[in-house]
Amino acid sequence: MEPKKTRAKGAGRKPLQPEDRAKSMSIRLTAAQHKKFLELGGIVWLRQQIDKAENGD
């Protein structure tokens, strides 16, 4: 029997700081709203809008 293969100590991606971790959420949209959301740029557009609102731009 071969010995169990294990990862080297410290191997792998380091965890992000809690403030840098992305949160997950879901929303309900009508078909028309979903189409408009995608036309506006989808998640990239949404993140830009949120960042603008936070900065007061």
Residues 6+ apart with CB under 8 A from 29: 37
Helix spans in 1-57 (H): 31-40, 42-55
Residue with the two structure tokens 């403030």: 19
Reduced to 3 states (helix: H, G, I; strand: E, B; else coil), residue 30 is: coil
Q: Tell me, yes or no, if the pTM score tops 0.85.
A: no
Main-chain dihedrals φ then ψ at residue 2, nearest 5 degrees: -75, 150
Q: What are the pLDDT tens digits along the chain (57 aa)?
A: 777 778 888 888 899 898 889 899 999 999 999 999 999 999 999 999 999 997 765
